[in-house]
Structure 1
Amino acid sequence: MSDVPQQAQQDIDAHALHEQVQYKNFSDLAGKVVFITGGASGIGRAMAEAFAVNGARLALLDINAGLLEKAQAELQATYPGIEVTTCVASITDEVAVENAVADVQALFGRIDVLLNNAGISMNKPTLELAPADWRRAIDINLNGAFYCAQSVGRRMVAQGSGVILNTASMYGTVAAPERAAYCASKAAVVMLTKVLAVEWAPSGLRVNALAPGYVQTALTDELVRTGRMDYDALIKRTPARRLGKTHEVATLALFLASDSAAYINGQAIVADGGWSTYSYI
């Protein structure tokens, strides 16, 4: 098995991200208030960087206070004058979510974009999947996404505008063995996205889902390290012959949150290097 190279800055290829967004194609995002769950690391951290480059005001929510503090300090050092606030909370706690959203609303006066990104993996044979594991995947990946969307959605409907991007997965659109809880929870996020899109569109909101394939993060590194993911087989199975990068998902989020995507609503946008298109034998 090949080694997966460790990323220098906790899952974020900052140089590649700057190459993608330094020219600021998304100037309409400047000044927008962007609420990011799971914003302290991985894809959420890359999203924070991408929106910071484009002049957004950021609210990062995560359960890890230490990583949140680190992310805030790094963003403020890299982009002097940027507004970044943080909220330590679990998205499975609907009261904590409501309190965090209310605090951000009070601070900034509005919320323009919700990047509903926090989630976990669950990769176990179905006959060995404990009820607690099933409940944990559903509670974080689905219930947490709902609590955040509902709380932020109330504010967006009242203000008559907003964009919500739910992080689903390619495994919310295709099946795989040993991922019953994960596939079920992410498929539910895709359908939740569609329901909210058609329900809230008349109020000026757009709701879409990001459906990434395998992206190199600390999570995938851990799956490889513990033998729960075969890196060589994964690369061979992926037509692009590589894993995705966090900045690639972040720049997709930039586009979908921007006015350039103003007529895209209720869609699950798959970014998986061709994985779900390829009928592999």
Structure 2
Amino acid sequence: MNPSPYKTSQTAQAFAPAVYAGLAGKSVLNTGGASGIGRAMAHGFARHGARLTLLDLDAAGLAATKAELEAAYPHIEVETVTASITDPAAVEAACADTEARFGRIDILLNNAGISMNKPSLELTPDEWRRAIDIDLSGVFYCTQAAARRMVRQGGGSIVSTASMWGLASSARRLAYCAAKAGVVSLTRSLAAEWAEHNIRVNALCPGYTSTALMESLLARKAIDGDALLARTPLRRFGTPEEMAEVALFLASDSAAFITGHALVSDGGWTADGF
């Protein structure tokens, strides 16, 4: 595939991964780990010596990511689970398997999700339910199942990938905006409720990021890449690796006093009211 012409319209500062405390040896359950931001997070946590369980519906993508990780990090412990986060029984089974294999779940990364760009008057009930089921309810099922184990073990960290559209709004994205705003609200509510159990709950709110999903939307002209770049103060899209870096920080001991926070990484989009 040819490189996207939309990835950047100006030279970005070279990305320099950092090292974060307290991630080595941690058991990480990563949903949506087969591609995009979830895949980049898998590489980031593997780099820190974490033990990984990757959950996704894309079996081929899971196998490819697992192979990449094992080639790059020969001593890594990584398992895959092919399942949907909209199935509470499958989510519970994945959490039980992760706990049985690694003894605990230290970190949950909620990455699985879909886009939904459509005029609201044309949005069907099935499309609405699908967006809410995957982008919000699935996050709740995973979060609840993992947190039950975190309570027993004395703590943990949960990072959910929301969106800048969870804090702002956009025409023709009603279902997506509603679901992602729900993830932000879920994050804040559970952070307050579960602090007594030493469970931190935070959200990552990416702006437009160069993933395969983004490339598909651009190719189908579902979104206008030139207009998006013109609207973004940094005049480029983010990268999955930059988003993964935020999750590494939020999950690590470096962020030990941060909970209930929605950290925006959007190139300045939500800062610019015009």
Say if 1:172 and 1:189, in contact at 8 Å, map to a contact too. yes
1:167 corresponding residue in structure 2: 161
2:29 corresponding residue in structure 1: 35
Compute the displacement of 1:4 (Å): 2.2
Look up the SS of the partner of 1:34 in the other structure: strand
Deviations 1:44-66 (A, max 9, x none): 00000001111111110000111
1:81 corresponding residue in structure 2: 75
Say if 1:34 and 1:57, in contact at 8 Å, map to a contact too. yes
2:97 corresponding residue in structure 1: 103
Taking the aligned partners of 1:74 and 1:180, their CA distance within structure 2 comes to 36
Look up the SS of the partner of 2:22 in the other structure: helix
2:45 corresponding residue in structure 1: 51
**1:8-23 → structure 2 map (5 Å cutoff):** 19-21=16-18
**Match of 1:168, as an amino acid?**
A
Say if 2:6 and 2:226, in contact at 8 Å, map to a contact too. no
Compute the displacement of 1:161 (Å): 1.0
Say if 1:4 and 1:231, in contact at 8 Å, map to a contact too. no
1:72 corresponding residue in structure 2: 66
Deviations 1:35-80 (A, max 9, x none): 1000010000000000111111111000011110111111011100
Taking the aligned partners of 2:133 and 2:222, their CA distance within structure 1 comes to 22
How large is the Cα RMSD of the aligned pairs? 1.3
1:227 corresponding residue in structure 2: 221
Deviations 1:103-134 (A, max 9, x none): 01000000100001111110000001111110
Say if 1:169 and 1:210, in contact at 8 Å, map to a contact too. yes
Look up the SS of the partner of 2:249 in the other structure: helix
What's the TM-score, normalizing by structure 2? 0.95
Compute the displacement of 1:279 (Å): 1.2
Deviations 1:7-41 (A, max 9, x none): 9xxxxxxxx77x414xxx22421000111000010
Compute the displacement of 1:245 (Å): 0.5
Give every structure 1 segment of 4 or more consecutive aligned residues whose post-TM-superposition deviation is greater than 4 Å.
none
Compute the displacement of 1:6 (Å): 9.4
1:246 corresponding residue in structure 2: 240
Equivalent residue in structure 1 for 2:177, among 180, 183, 188: 183
Say if 1:49 and 1:75, in contact at 8 Å, map to a contact too. yes
Look up the SS of the partner of 1:29 in the other structure: coil
1:12 corresponding residue in structure 2: none
Taking the aligned partners of 1:172 and 1:251, their CA distance within structure 2 comes to 20
**1:66-215 → structure 2 map (5 Å cutoff):** 66-215=60-209
2:11 corresponding residue in structure 1: none
Say if 1:122 and 1:181, in contact at 8 Å, map to a contact too. yes
Say if 1:50 and 1:251, in contact at 8 Å, map to a contact too. yes
Taking the aligned partners of 1:189 and 1:277, their CA distance within structure 2 comes to 21
Say if 2:6 and 2:225, in contact at 8 Å, map to a contact too. no
**Match of 2:149, as an amino acid?**
R
Deviations 1:141-166 (A, max 9, x none): 00100000000000001111100001
Identity of aligned residues (%): 59
What's the TM-score, normalizing by structure 1? 0.92
Taking the aligned partners of 1:71 and 1:166, their CA distance within structure 2 comes to 20
Taking the aligned partners of 2:74 and 2:160, their CA distance within structure 1 comes to 29
Gaps of at least 5 residues in structure 1 are 8-15
Closer, same or farther in 2 for the Cα pair 1:158/1:204, shift >3 Å?
Answer: same
Compute the displacement of 1:5 (Å): 4.7
Taking the aligned partners of 1:198 and 1:27, their CA distance within structure 2 comes to 24
Gaps of at least 5 residues in structure 2 are 8-13
Say if 1:212 and 1:272, in contact at 8 Å, map to a contact too. yes
Look up the SS of the partner of 1:211 in the other structure: strand
Compute the displacement of 1:258 (Å): 0.7
